[in-house]
């Protein structure tokens, strides 16, 4: 696909509200009032997360890539997963899909990209650095380094960072599932490993490790140490609470031996029971290199029930802890609803969910988490006066992304902001829609609406999926174009739901972004001159560039192509 679009100055139109076309809104497999799963159209698993600049960034294995490769049928074999999905939010109910990071392109030596662990720090030069560790199948662990949460990412190594023959690792059935934490003093630690018992038994399989990383965060510092994690299987993650290490993991599916567990409890002076199969467990220590210092604390996360395996991340965001995990909820809803794009044989294509977690940091106690599809409440209202990417939504129907796998034979890459979404746009069809929750228009209210679209069709903004239009934009242009229309009735106060429904759309229709304004344009020429004076610059995906840097790439400035070499 040619990703060089013609960028033109925005046009200002005043349109009357038109009657809706007869195309019914597409089916959604995520209820509008539910927060889980976080995406209604992207399969993703094995979550990791961090907070940065007031946003929560969540990364995961790209199950959608495997879904497409498998012909949307059969059980998920994970073999085609070579990219990492990125989402972010600042309110916990409306999520922006940033596309995918093509790990195979960044780390040419790799074959897979499973179960990432992401973190960041401020380096010695006072600049933020971002690291994503990933499992290259079950064989070894790689790392990528970037300058923003979305990249561009580069490989600081020419091979895996941790392998089965790395010091202290063997024996380890699966050298995978990294979990990384950066301490306040700058130290970085990584947990990893899994699989069947290696040199141990079902109770103590000997397949879990922890290691300190060097200051560059791309090499092991010394050797790895074995973790005495009862019934350990996979899904390592690390947190620091009140100066103590908290290691979380998924328990195995091996049989439990009551006699052996009773002996273990007496030896370690604990009272908790053995974990059920496939549950999230945790241990605590203040000395990660001393196996005898680890205390097993019990189970905090149940098995989701709708997926074959279990993998979660415990994340603190804006002062509240969240349990981020994967489940088969979206696939189940699609199969129950007889979605035409899903074969009845499809199984274990997972999606990300979030529920609240109750944590006492001073005692490192994590209460059992309750899993449900209703999910978490919003922590703030949504701002419709900010330019919002079309990929930001609480749920949707009939929406397809133009390129969520970044598999293109030829491409020009602009690295001004990120390489997570080289071609990310939403391809819309008649009846397709997106929705955001809790849009707050305030007391003054919105008087105009702008959308950046291309193709031919009609976009209606509604308060209900099948409701009347609050604003309507009709468009017919092959290139990207911004359309601004007046809102006939001023929109004030809080809207629980705000739908963007394409009542008409041809095969070339795409949706890029939208924004409301409190202003009513009264003079077309004046407003047009004001917009032109903004001297807007766009990248090749057609996204506005807030600040032009000296980074290499191709840009569109004032309608002209500019190349920075």
For residue 385, what pLDDT is reported?
98
Q: What are 388's strand-pairing partners? A: 514
CA 47/CA 550 separation, integer angstroms: 34
251: number of Cβ within 10 Å: 25
Task: State mean pLDDT over 386-411.
Answer: 73
Residue 418 clears pLDDT 90, i.e. is over it: no
- Length of the chain in residues, anyone? 565
Rg of the chain over Cα atoms, rounded to whole angstroms, equals: 25
Indicate the helix (H) or strand (E) that contains 231.
Answer: none
Give yes or no for a cis peptide into 252 (omega within 30° of 0): no
According to the model, what pLDDT value does residue 426 have? 85
For residues 247 and 130, what is the distance between their CA atoms, to the nearest angstrom?
A: 22
Phi, psi of 98 (to 5 degrees): -95, 5
CA-wise closest residue to 539 among 424, 457, 384, 444: 424
Please give the pLDDT value at position 190.
98
What are 89's strand-pairing partners?
56
Task: Return the pLDDT at 402.
Answer: 60
Q: CA-to-CA distance for 375 and 380, rounded, in angstroms?
A: 15
Predicted local distance difference test score (pLDDT) of residue 151: 85
Cβ–Cβ < 8 Å for 514, 31? no
Can you tell me the distance from the alpha carbon of 226 to that of 144, in angstroms, rounded to the nearest whole number?
Answer: 25
Query: What is the rounded distance in angstroms from the CA atom of residue 402 to the CA atom of residue 541?
Result: 11
**Which residues of 441-535 form beta strands (DSSP E)?**
446-462, 469-491, 494-505, 510-517
Instruction: From 483, 489, 390, 497, select the one nearest 446 (Cα to Cα).
Output: 489
Task: Please provide the distance, in angstroms rounded to a whole number, between the alpha carbons at the two ends of the chain.
Answer: 23
Average pLDDT over residues 381-395: 96
Q: Cα–Cα distance between 227 and 205 in angstroms, integer?
A: 10
Lowest mean pLDDT among 40-49, 171-180, 192-201, 214-223: 192-201
Nearest one of 161, 175, 178 to 115, comparing CA atoms:
178
Q: Which tens digits make up the pLDDT trace of 123-149?
A: 999 999 999 999 999 999 999 999 999
With bands split at pLDDT 50, 70 and 90, how would you rate the model's confidence at 248? very high
Confidence of residue 388 (pLDDT cuts 50, 70, 90): very high
Diameter over CA atoms, the chain:
84
Which range among 394-403, 411-420, 539-548 shows the weakest confidence by mean pLDDT? Answer: 411-420
* pLDDT tops 70 at residue 170: yes
- Between the alpha carbon of residue 306 and those of residues 278, 348, 353, the distances in Å are 12, 8, 12
55 is written with which tokens?
A: 């946003």
Are 446 and 384 spatial neighbours (Cβ–Cβ below 8 Å)? yes
Of 390, 401, 475, 399, whose CA–CA distance to 436 is shortest?
Answer: 390
CB 426 within 8 A of CB 6: no
Identify which of 216, 45, 253 has the alpha carbon closest to the alpha carbon of residue 135. Answer: 45
Identify which of 421, 554, 402 has the alpha carbon closest to the alpha carbon of residue 153. 421
Write out the H or E segment, with its range, that includes residue 262: helix 258-268
Alpha-carbon span 374 to 225, nearest angstrom: 40
Predicted confidence at residue 400, as pLDDT, reads 78
Specify the pLDDT at position 427: 87
Q: Please state the rounded mean pLDDT for residues 107-117.
A: 97
Q: For residue 165, what are the contacts with CB-CB under 8 A and spacing of at least 6?
A: none
pLDDT at position 412 over 50: no
pTM as predicted: 0.87
In contact, 178 and 248? CB cutoff 8 Å: no
DSSP secondary structure letters along 179-201? EEEE-TTS-EEEEE-BSS-SSS-
- Confidence class of residue 23 from pLDDT cuts 50, 70 and 90? confident
Of 128, 106, 107, 108, which is closest to residue 119 (Cα–Cα)? 128
> Cβ distance 162 to 147 under 8 Å?
no
**Contact criterion met (CB below 8 Å) for 155 and 167:** no
Residue 185 vs residues 121, 122, 218: alpha-carbon distances, Å: 11, 12, 17
- Residue 175, C-beta contacts closer than 8 angstroms, at least 6 positions apart: 138, 139, 140, 141, 162, 163, 164, 166, 169, 192, 193
Are 565 and 553 in contact by the 8 Å Cβ rule? The answer is no
CA nearest neighbour of 154 among 164, 143, 165, 162: 143
- pLDDT digits over 282-323, tens only? 999 999 999 999 999 999 999 999 999 999 999 999 999 999
Give the Cα separation of 528 and 220 in Å (integer): 57
Distances from the Cα of 482 to the Cαs of 170, 542, 544, in angstroms?
A: 58, 11, 12
Residue-level pLDDT at 520: 85
Lowest mean pLDDT among 38-42, 470-474, 545-549, 556-560: 556-560
pLDDT of 18 above 60? no
The pLDDT of residue 522: 60
Q: What percent of the chain has pLDDT over 90?
A: 79
Three-state DSSP class for 215?
coil
Note the helical H segments in 29-86. Answer: 63-69
The strand pair at 209-213 and 188-192 is best described as antiparallel
pLDDT band at 424 (very low <50, low <70, confident <90, very high): low
pLDDT score at 152? 85
**Cis geometry, peptide bond prior to residue 152 (ω within 30 degrees of 0):** yes
Distances (CA, A) of 260 to 100, 206, 229, 305, 334: 45, 16, 14, 27, 43
Q: Is the pLDDT of residue 539 over 70?
A: no
d(CA 296, CA 201): 17
At residue 91, the pLDDT reads: 98
């Amino acid at each position: 696909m040619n990703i060089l679009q013609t960028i033109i100055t925005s046009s200002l139109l005043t349109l009357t509200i038109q009657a809706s076309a007869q195309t019914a809104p597409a089916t959604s497999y995520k209820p509008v009032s539910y927060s889980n799963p976080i995406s209604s159209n992207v399969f993703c698993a094995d979550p990791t997360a961090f907070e940065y600049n007031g946003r929560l960034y969540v990364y995961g294995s790209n199950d959608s890539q495997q879904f497409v490769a498998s012909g949307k049928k059969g059980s998920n074999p994970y073999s085609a997963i070579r990219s990492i999905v990125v989402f972010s939010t600042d309110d916990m109910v409306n999520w922006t899909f940033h596309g995918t990071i093509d790990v195979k392109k960044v780390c040419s030596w790799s074959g897979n990209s499973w179960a990432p662990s992401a973190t960041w720090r401020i380096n010695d030069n006072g600049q933020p650095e971002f690291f994503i560790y990933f499992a290259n199948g079950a064989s070894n662990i790689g790392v990528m380094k970037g300058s923003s949460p979305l990249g561009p990412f580069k490989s600081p190594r020419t091979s895996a960072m941790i392998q089965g023959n790395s010091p202290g690792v063997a024996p380890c059935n699966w050298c995978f599932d990294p979990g990384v934490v950066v301490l306040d003093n700058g130290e970085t630690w990584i947990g990893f490993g899994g699989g069947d018992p290696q040199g141990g038994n079902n109770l103590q399989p000997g397949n879990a490790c922890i290691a300190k990383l060097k200051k560059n965060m791309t090499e092991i510092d010394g050797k790895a140490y074995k973790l005495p994690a009862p019934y350990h299987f996979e899904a390592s993650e690390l947190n620091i609470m009140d100066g103590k290490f908290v290691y979380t993991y998924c328990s195995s599916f091996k049989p439990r031996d009551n006699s052996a567990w009773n002996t273990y409890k007496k030896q370690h002076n604990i009272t908790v029971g053995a974990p059920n199969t496939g549950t999230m467990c945790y241990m605590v220590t203040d000395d990660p290199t001393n196996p005898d210092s680890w205390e097993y604390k019990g189970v905090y996360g149940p098995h989701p029930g709708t997926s074959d395996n279990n993998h979660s991340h415990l994340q603190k965001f804006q002062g509240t802890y969240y349990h981020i995990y994967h489940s088969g909820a979206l696939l189940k809803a699609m199969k129950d609803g007889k979605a035409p794009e899903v074969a009845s044989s499809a199984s274990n294509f997972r999606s990300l969910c979030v529920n609240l977690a109750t944590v006492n940091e001073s005692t490192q106690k994590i209460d059992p988490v309750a899993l449900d599809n209703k999910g978490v409440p919003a922590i703030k209202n949504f701002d419709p006066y900010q330019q919002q990417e079309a990929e930001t939504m609480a749920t949707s129907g009939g929406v397809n992304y133009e390129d969520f796998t970044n598999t293109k034979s030829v491409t020009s890459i602009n690295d001004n902001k990120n390489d997570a979404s080289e071609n990310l746009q939403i391809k819309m069809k008649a009846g397709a829609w997106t929705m955001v929750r809790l849009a707050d228009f305030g007391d003054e209210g919105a008087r105009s609406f702008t959308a950046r679209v291309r193709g031919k069709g009609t976009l209606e903004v509604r308060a209900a999926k099948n409701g009347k239009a609050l604003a309507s934009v009709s468009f017919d242009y092959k290139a990207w174009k911004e359309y601004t229309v007046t809102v006939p009735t001023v929109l004030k106060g809080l809207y629980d739901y705000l739908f963007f429904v394409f009542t008409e759309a041809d095969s070339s229709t795409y949706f890029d972004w939208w924004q409301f304004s409190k202003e009513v344009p009264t003079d077309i020429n004046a407003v047009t001159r004001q917009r032109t004076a903004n001297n807007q610059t766009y990248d090749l995906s057609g996204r506005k560039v807030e600040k032009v840097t000296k980074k290499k790439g191709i840009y569109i400035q004032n309608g002209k192509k500019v190349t920075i070499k």
